[in-house]
Structure 1
């Protein structure tokens, strides 16, 4: 196959993954066969239909294992073998991790969902064409890459860019601890996956405005925007994204 054919195949695969993501598919595929038609007993059926929530004791114990300083947290993300990402079957122990960048107490902390292929290659979040658009967006906010704290929910990329609900919950709890250590004045969440993980409750009165990101003992104002990778494929969404960013710009003034 020539390079043009390879590019077409890669583009088709990426388009198919994005289509399923937009359709609402958010679960990775298990290799264990499941009999979906098997009858379920009444009590088990009720349990299976109930939403999954992490017990408060589990949340507290998970936080207790996380480092309490930002430098130690960075080192933990870089090396710890018990991270959620380290358990993903498609990744080996040497899978590259793309770590956060920035210093504590910034005016703005930016949180993406997970690294893209360009990010894994460069070791830097929001690289390539998406990174260039991201930097232009920061410029519109009067910020630059080196003036913000940039992180992602996951430090590795899940298969197909899909996160299970359980993994998203664990990564969100870790990120709340992370945000508390960073101590930003405002937070900008990039991508629908990120917003749904950290701001699960929609505000019907002000769906596009600032919302309180609960950190446990404190809150910080946060706002969600589309990911640059989405804007590159759907340019018509840029106008809405800019309107949302203007709300953040006014809050930061």
Structure 2
């Protein structure tokens, strides 16, 4: 008798977790092989052939080469006259593969007229589900942090360098960051805040052109250049890091006090 080689439910779940699948996108299962385009694909089209579920699942066109994608992102972002236009351009931008694995675009939250803008690295699971940045545990801590200096989400603007959740919350690759960078740069230009706050090491290094770690870069005033204006910028710890290392909340409070003092002028 030939043993049953089909994976067990436990093995499938372990595979999904390792691949970064940690939540369901709908209540009902979706049979990707039932797609008419897949079922009718000719034998010469292996990418859509029945019996190749992995290829069928990712049947979208492959993203362009990194250099071409970065150039396309720069040109696309540059043309956006408003935040609404920038969001629409991002919705239709296919140069970053993260878009294919995320549930939805996570563009921004808060007041576009705010004097202070906070920028993190990338959305997590909760953000991917709701389509808003910083709504999970770290988001609740960020809300308490800004409330401590008399602010709330109606008085700040919040975004991320990466607008799509990386699978399994993995760290974005340098290429993914470079592809998305022109969009957050244009977002900062359009919001035009008086103070830019980068949350954590990745967003600080991406936006403030520093190779120093967050321990050395935080708590001091730096400059962010838009091309037409210089914005005061400060790096501080990401709320997710503070949840893991609460002893650093004291330093973060010092940073927040400096930010509040600058906004009071």
What TM-score results when the alignment is normalised by the length of structure 2? 0.65
Specify the SS of the correspondent of 1:114.
coil
Quote the Cα distance in structure 2 between the aligned partners of 1:60 and 1:217. 20
Equivalent residue for 2:238, pick from 227, 234, 237? 227
The alpha-carbon deviation at position 201 of structure 1 amounts to 2.5
Specify the SS of the correspondent of 1:146.
coil
Specify the SS of the correspondent of 1:142.
coil
Per-residue CA shift, 1:93-129, capped at 9, x if unaligned? 7732222123433111111111111112222211132
1:136 maps to: 144
The alpha-carbon deviation at position 72 of structure 1 amounts to 0.9
Per-residue CA shift, 1:196-245, capped at 9, x if unaligned? 10012268998621211121222211111111111111111111111122
Structure 1 segment 2-81 matched on structure 2, within 5 A:
58=71, 62=75, 66-77=79-90, 79-81=91-93
Once structures 1 and 2 are overlaid, which stretch shifts more, 208-217 or 161-170?
A: 161-170
Equivalent residue for 1:109, pick from 107, 113, 117? 117
C-alpha contact (below 8 Å) 1:191/1:225 kept by paired residues: yes
The alpha-carbon deviation at position 194 of structure 1 amounts to 0.5
Specify the SS of the correspondent of 1:245.
helix
C-alpha contact (below 8 Å) 1:115/1:155 kept by paired residues: yes
Equivalent residue for 2:196, pick from 187, 210, 229? 187
C-alpha contact (below 8 Å) 2:103/2:128 kept by paired residues: no
Give the count of matched residue pairs. 197
The alpha-carbon deviation at position 82 of structure 1 amounts to 2.4
Give unmatched runs, 5+ long, in structure 2: 1-12, 21-66
Quote the Cα distance in structure 2 between the aligned partners of 1:207 and 1:92. 34
1:245 maps to: 256
Structure possessing the higher relative contact order (Cα contacts under 8 Å, 6 or more residues apart): 1
Equivalent residue for 1:98, pick from 106, 131, 134? 106
Please state if 1:158 is matched with 2:154.
Answer: no
Whichever of the two has the greater Rg, that structure is 2
Please state if 1:122 is matched with 2:130.
Answer: yes
The alpha-carbon deviation at position 75 of structure 1 amounts to 2.1
Quote the Cα distance in structure 2 between the aligned partners of 1:151 and 1:60. 17
Specify the SS of the correspondent of 1:145.
coil
C-alpha contact (below 8 Å) 1:115/1:126 kept by paired residues: yes
Cα–Cα, structure 1 residues 125 and 206, in superposed 2: closer, same or farther, change >3 Å? closer
2:209 maps to: 200
1:172 maps to: 181
Give unmatched runs, 5+ long, in structure 1: 1-5, 14-53
1:145 maps to: 153
C-alpha contact (below 8 Å) 1:176/1:214 kept by paired residues: no
Specify the SS of the correspondent of 1:144.
coil
What TM-score results when the alignment is normalised by the length of structure 1? 0.68
